[in-house]
Amino acid sequence: MKNTQLSISAIVLGVLALVVGALYLANILLGYHPTRAYIAFGVGAILLLIGIVGMVVSRPKGPA
């Protein structure tokens, strides 16, 4: 897999983790689990940062 694909997949997984955290915290579909919600928020934020940094670092450089 290319670095761009890995970065995009990290961003998508991060967004999904944030959604799951919101569902846990709001007691929708999954029940009320505040500890799991905060863990999901943390994991989602870390994955988003990894994806964004990966996109910036692996950006191809143009001609100088």
* Cα gap 64→43, rounded to integer Å: 38
Domain ranges within the chain, ordered by starting residue: 3-57
Structure tokens at 55: 């996109």
User: How many CB atoms sit inside 10 A of residue 24's CB?
Assistant: 22
DSSP H or E run through 5? helix 3-26
Residues 32-41 have pLDDT tens digits of 778 888 999 9
Those residues of the chain that have pLDDT short of 70 are: 1, 58-64
The pLDDT of residue 32 is 77
- Put simply, whether the predicted model's pTM sits higher than 0.85 gets the answer no
